[in-house]
């Protein structure tokens, strides 16, 4: 039944993948939700935009190595995406004037969101299954890295659209945050989110190590000196990034200094607001990471952690080593970034860069086109920089001897 459905759906996936996704800015999300939130308008936009975003990512899934596609966990994720795509197609021609349509659509979005809850750990499980069977191949690793960055970004954007619609027009409005417009806080106190993320990470750290470093926080507001820094942002995204950085900093600090007579050095947070950037720097004295390993911290294939439980209620991403790469995707999603600067032997500075203006915070979305296709199909070229060999070359044995 499912595979016959797949056959009939493939032309639709191809059709919708010809459209590029329409990136929205935080300001556009905000203006729509605040001034003229119309459920019919949102419905008309989402019934096309959601299939477009799904189709773009599903075309890329099919370019992955067949051995990876055949892993049970990857097949499961593919099935979820197919099911959601097919269900959204039901609304292709349904008019919003029908009183049942808007409510049915809202319920479907909640169902789809729940279905996709475990996409990240399930896909990670698929990569582990592949690695255990076939080992590590640099070309395949590059393709998987490229794909997962795009696939998970697509998922962040998909959930953002669904959350805005369900929070604005459904019954799951958060009474604790009445001023939020959907999932966006128009006056998000950055220091408050920093403190929340620190407190949550501290609780985990104390549970495992029975100790945790203190937090020292500073703010530098170039636009309004001495005023607390506020942003128009999605607090849950910022929390996700900061929580990950605090966890890493605390673990490194405790493991390096647990026997020190001087106690644990504090973790420092510095929040700054300039004309273009809002930046948050988390600094620790946890011993740092060698330069050679920095890129690996963002690589999905390098995760060496033991396979975590996929049981409901398990801490999300625990053990997959996906915390940093996914946090970087959250930062990049609205045109920001996340960078690590480490000094081995001392500690690490992690900096989250966000756009200061909500009108410049546009979604950064993957588009399926020829350039994307080439990433999967073009074999790697020979390296055009020298590689250090293990043994120094003996110049006296070279066939190119200098004329004396």
For residue 162, how far is the Cα from the chain centroid? 16
Q: Which of 252, 241, 156 is nearest to 198 (CA)?
A: 241
3 state DSSP class of 159: helix
Contact 321, 304 (CB under 8 A): yes
**Beta strand extents in 66-162 (DSSP E only):** none
Candidate list 131, 202, 240, 257, residue with the active-site label: 240
Buried b (16+ CB within 10 A) or exposed e, 369-379: eeebeeebeee
Residue 106 and residue 346 in contact, taking contact as beta carbons nearer than 8 Å: no
Taking CA atoms, 273 is separated from 9, 29, 170, 220, in Å, by 48, 22, 35, 6
247 is a catalytic site residue: yes
Q: Which listed residue (78, 180, 202, 247) is catalytic?
A: 247
DSSP 221-288: ESSSTTSPPEEEE-HHHHHHHHHHHHHHHHHHHHHHHTT-TT-PPPEEEEEEE-SSEEEEEEE--S--
Instruction: State the Cα–Cα distance between residues 138 and 40, nearest whole angstrom.
Output: 48
Distance CA 144, CA 128 (A): 12
Number of continuous H segments (helices) and E segments (strands) in the chain:
13, 7
Count of other CB atoms within 10 angstroms of residue 247 = 18
Cα-trace Rg, the chain: 24
Tally Cβ neighbours within 10 Å of residue 179: 7
Angstrom distance (rounded) from CA 189 to CA 238: 11
Torsion of CA 390, 396, 397, 401, to 10 degrees: 120
DSSP conformation class of 196: H
Out of 180, 248, 268, 355, the active site residue is 248
SS3 32: helix
Distances (CA, A) of 135 to 62, 69, 192, 296, 385: 21, 15, 44, 17, 26
Q: Max Cα separation, the chain?
A: 94
Catalytic residue among 244, 257, 281, 363: 244
Q: Is 248 an annotated catalytic residue?
A: yes
> Which active-site residues does the annotation give?
240, 244, 247-248
């Amino acid at each position: 039944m499912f595979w016959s459905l797949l056959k009939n759906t493939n032309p639709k996936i191809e059709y919708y993948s010809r459209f590029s996704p329409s990136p929205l800015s935080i300001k556009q999300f905000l203006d729509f939700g605040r001034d003229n939130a119309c459920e019919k308008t949102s419905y008309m936009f989402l019934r096309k935009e959601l299939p477009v975003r799904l189709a773009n990512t599903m075309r890329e899934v099919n370019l992955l190595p067949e051995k990876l596609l055949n892993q049970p966990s990857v097949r499961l994720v593919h099935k979820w995406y197919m099911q959601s795509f097919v269900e959204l197609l039901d609304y292709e021609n349904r008019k919003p004037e029908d009183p049942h349509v808007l409510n049915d659509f809202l319920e479907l979005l909640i169902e789809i969101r729940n279905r996709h809850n475990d996409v990240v750990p399930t896909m990670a499980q698929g990569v582990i299954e592949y690695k255990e069977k076939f080992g590590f191949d640099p070309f395949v690793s590059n393709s998987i890295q490229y794909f997962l960055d795009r696939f998970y970004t697509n998922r962040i954007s998909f959930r953002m659209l669904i959350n805005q619609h369900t929070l604005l027009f459904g019954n799951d409005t958060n009474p604790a945050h009445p001023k939020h417009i959907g999932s966006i806080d128009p006056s998000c106190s950055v220091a408050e989110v920093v403190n929340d993320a620190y407190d949550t990470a501290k609780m985990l750290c104390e549970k495992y190590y029975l100790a945790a470093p203190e937090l020292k926080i500073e703010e530098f507001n170039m636009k309004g000196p001495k005023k607390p820094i506020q942003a128009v942002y999605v607090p849950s995204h910022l929390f996700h990034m900061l929580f990950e950085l605090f966890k890493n900093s605390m673990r490194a600090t405790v493991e390096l200094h647990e026997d020190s007579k001087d106690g644990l050095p504090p973790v420092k947070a510095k929040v700054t607001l300039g004309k273009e950037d809002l930046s948050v720097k988390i600094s620790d004295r946890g011993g740092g990471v060698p330069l050679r390993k920095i890129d690996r911290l963002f690589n999905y294939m390098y995760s060496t952690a033991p396979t975590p439980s996929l049981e409901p209620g398990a801490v999300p991403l625990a053990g997959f080593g996906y915390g940093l790469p996914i946090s970087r995707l959250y930062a990049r999603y609205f045109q920001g970034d996340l960078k690590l600067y480490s000094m081995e032997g001392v500690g690490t500075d992690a900096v989250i860069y966000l756009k200061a203006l909500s009108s410049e915070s546009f979604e950064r979305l993957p588009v399926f086109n020829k350039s994307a296709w080439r990433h999967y199909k073009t074999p790697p070229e020979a390296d055009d920089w020298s590689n250090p060999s293990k043994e120094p070359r003996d110049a006296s044995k070279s066939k190119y001897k200098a004329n004396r």
